[in-house]
């Protein structure tokens, strides 16, 4: 498999010394130790909750990087599902210009011709509300296993956090335990303040999984928003030249 993707932490190899009684060790490229979760938490601590957010171009850049990485995984044959996408598993470059998807501890491949194994959902449930926060509501049904659409839902919640600088459901975490409430509970989109971006995010966390766009489609939509913003800026700038 060709794993060359700048938005995925690169696999370098593994060490498997069973004779020494040691567990296999996965080797990856050396990356910054700053996760998106750490970065956003530091800003909240410094400025206060809801008082800071990245500027629009930085936000879109991070969202695009995440979706590119996700699209790469989903384009493999068979598709690779991350299953535990969250800010703690997104690594920022030292200059904050790039983002990489890491930690495939729950990752799995999907064979669309076979029944999906729901056991990953059970493992995810045991990780607590930190992971629960980003989990697609349909996974509450134990007959449903993680797939491309559940990864996309997770990415939508993360996009909301990137664009608002806040943690989703921070004041309603107790409601996530109620499966009937979780189906319809979403973060408040008014905090994003940009309708075209709101439309992208709302489509990605749509209640009906089949109506969610693919990660590749989201990436194209976000890149289109950047072009729109740049065009409007150039028009605005030309008025003063």
Q: Is 187 left (phi over 0), alpha (psi -120 to 50) or beta?
A: beta
Kindly list the structural domains of the chain, giving each domain's residue range(s) and its CATH number in brackets, ordered by start. Answer: 33-238 (1.10.510.10)
**Residue 145 to residues 17, 29, 71, 163: CA-CA distances in angstroms?**
32, 30, 19, 28
Q: What are the pLDDT tens digits along the chain (241 aa)?
A: 455 788 988 766 667 766 556 676 666 666 677 999 999 999 999 999 889 999 999 999 999 999 999 999 999 989 999 999 999 999 999 999 999 999 865 555 555 544 444 444 454 444 444 478 899 999 888 778 899 999 999 999 999 999 999 999 887 777 776 766 677 889 999 999 999 999 999 999 999 999 999 999 999 999 999 998 887 656 655 565 5
**What torsion, rounded to 10 degrees, do the Cα atoms 164, 178, 90, 30 define?**
150
- 213 with 204: CB under 8 angstroms? yes
User: Is the pTM of the predicted complex or chain greater than 0.85?
Assistant: no
**Separation of alpha carbons 102 and 168, rounded Å:** 21
């Amino acid at each position: 498999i060709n794993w060359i993707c700048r938005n995925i932490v690169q696999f370098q190899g593994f060490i498997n010394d069973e004779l020494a009684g040691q567990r296999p060790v996965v080797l990856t490229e050396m990356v910054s130790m700053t996760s998106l979760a750490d970065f956003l938490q530091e800003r909240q601590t410094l400025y206060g909750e809801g008082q800071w957010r990245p500027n629009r171009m930085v936000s879109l850049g991070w969202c695009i990087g995440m979706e590119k990485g996700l699209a790469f995984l989903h384009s493999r044959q068979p598709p690779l599902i991350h299953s535990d996408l969250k800010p703690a598993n997104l690594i920022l470059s030292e200059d904050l210009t790039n983002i990489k998807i890491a930690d495939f501890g729950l990752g799995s491949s999907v064979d669309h011709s076979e029944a999906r194994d729901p056991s990953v959902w059970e493992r995810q449930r045991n990780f607590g509300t930190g992971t629960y926060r980003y989990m697609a509501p349909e996974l509450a049904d134990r007959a449903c296993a993680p797939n491309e659409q559940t990864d996309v839902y997770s990415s939508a919640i993360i996009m909301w956090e990137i664009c608002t600088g806040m943690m989703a459901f921070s004041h309603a975490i107790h409601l996530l335990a109620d499966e009937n409430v979780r189906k319809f509970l979403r973060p408040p989109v008014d905090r994003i303040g940009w309708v075209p971006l709101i439309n992208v995010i709302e489509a990605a966390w749509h209640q009906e999984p089949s109506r969610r766009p693919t990660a590749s489609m989201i990436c194209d939509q976000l890149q289109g928003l950047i072009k729109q913003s740049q065009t409007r800026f150039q028009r605005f700038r030309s008025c003063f030249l």
